[in-house]
Amino acid sequence: YGLCFFQQSSGINAEYGGVEVVFFVSYDMDSSSSSSSTTTTSEDTVLSIPPEINELFHAHREYLLQLYNDELVALKEMVEELKNADLFPPDITPQMLMPFLWTRKLNVLKAINTFRNNQKLREYLKISLTRVKITSVNKELLEGGHFYAIPGTRDKHGRTISYFIAHSMIPSHYDPKDFLTMTMFYMDYASFNFPPESHRNGTIVVEDATGLGLKHVDTRLFKVIKEAGIEGNSGMQDLIPGKLKGILILNPPLIIKALFKLARLFMKKKLIQRVQIVTPADIMRDWVSPDNLHTVFGGSLEYNHQKWVAEEIEKEMHEETKKMQTETDAGRHDG
């Protein structure tokens, strides 16, 4: 559940206590080697929303107006391909589809592959294909604050900031399905609540690696992914959309420091720049201003994750009650 265990490329293998791990890799470091089947994203003014997309997603027109022309073209192609393959969920929205396209640099076929893997995993987990509710997530795991992002905060380059406290969770204490369900919830929350620009800019992860060891490694994730019918060596980059722009590691144990020094001999310069061992002072100087950095990691921003969870649960329950009341009123009217 950390930096090391999701993708089997762009990294180096190492033996640690008899267990082979893949060191310093991520689910999409947004390398320049990826190609696109459509025009590269640019900040051109939107010329028009394709009629098919406008009709299909008319309730989301405000969102569509925030997209660039090449993004709209890619979205139209993706919808057509999914429909032709009978893979288009009836309740899907552009907010759910666009993150896959951004992650794959508007390469429609690659985006569809990631989307389909994501759908297979949701089917296996028996969770919503379009939007996971917070009440579907293991509350204890969610409230633990092991992994979170503070809404509305950005780094100095406009990127979302995610936090990971590795030592706060022992994976074996939880069902891996619970972890994956929580991951899907966070994905859906970002899709519906973060503006397009934040997805284009990507995210950075600030990780406290204090005490990181073998007890924090859980290979059961790979078993779950295989049981979900996802073939090959699909890592998180083939399951969860996201443009990871940097991993900043605080307080790494000696083994991580040693492996990192070794890995630098094999890593590309661009990757080395994005995976760094840092201090809080380094983060605030080069990456995140103090008022956007959580106090737990040396900044001045106060944040209570348990309070956020409680507020989101209350909000969801209120929306469900309102929806049920609307449906009841409609039934009475029809009667």
Q: What is the CA radius of gyration of the chain?
A: 21
Distance of alpha carbon 23 from alpha carbon 231, whole angstroms: 23
Strand segments (E) across the chain: 12-16, 19-23, 147-154, 160-165, 203-208, 244-250, 275-277
Kindly state the average pLDDT of the residues 45-70: 89
Considering the chain, what is the average pLDDT of its residues?
Answer: 83
pLDDT tens for 115-160 read 999 999 999 999 999 999 999 999 999 999 999 999 999 999 999 9
**Residue 163, beta-bridge partner list:** 148, 206
Helix (H) or strand (E) holding 256: helix 254-263
Helix (H) or strand (E) holding 262: helix 254-263
Distance of alpha carbon 134 from alpha carbon 127, whole angstroms: 11
Whether residue 50 is predicted with pLDDT greater than 50 in this model: the reply is: yes
Kindly state the average pLDDT of the residues 193-216: 90
Whether residue 24 is predicted with pLDDT greater than 60 in this model: the reply is: no
Whether residue 21 is predicted with pLDDT greater than 90 in this model: the reply is: no
What is the three-class DSSP state of 21? strand
Burial 206-222 (b: 16+ CB within 10 A, else e): bbbbeebeeebbbeebe
What is the three-class DSSP state of 166? helix
Strand segments (E) across 167-318: 203-208, 244-250, 275-277
Number of other CB atoms surrounding residue 35 within 10 Å: 10
**17 vs 192, more confident:** 192
Please state the pTM of the whole predicted model. 0.81
What amino acid occupies position 255? I
Whether residue 45 is predicted with pLDDT greater than 60 in this model: the reply is: no
pLDDT band at 38 (very low <50, low <70, confident <90, very high): very low
Tokens matching residue 117: 């893997």
Distance of alpha carbon 217 from alpha carbon 166, whole angstroms: 10
How many Å from the N-terminal Cα to the C-terminal Cα in the chain? Answer: 53
Give the per-residue pLDDT at 128. Answer: 93
Distance of alpha carbon 228 from alpha carbon 120, whole angstroms: 6
Judge contact between 265 and 24, C-beta under 8 A: no
pLDDT tens for 130-141 read 999 999 999 999
Largest CA distance in the chain: 73
Residues across the chain: 335
DSSP of 60-120:
GHHHHTTS-HHHHHHHHHHHHHHHHTT---TT--HHHHHHHHHHTTT-HHHHHHHHHHHHH
281-289's contacts with Cβ under 8 Å and 24+ in sequence apart are: 282/248, 283/206, 283/248, 283/250, 286/156, 287/155, 287/156, 287/204, 287/246, 287/248, 288/155, 288/156, 288/161, 288/204, 288/206, 289/156
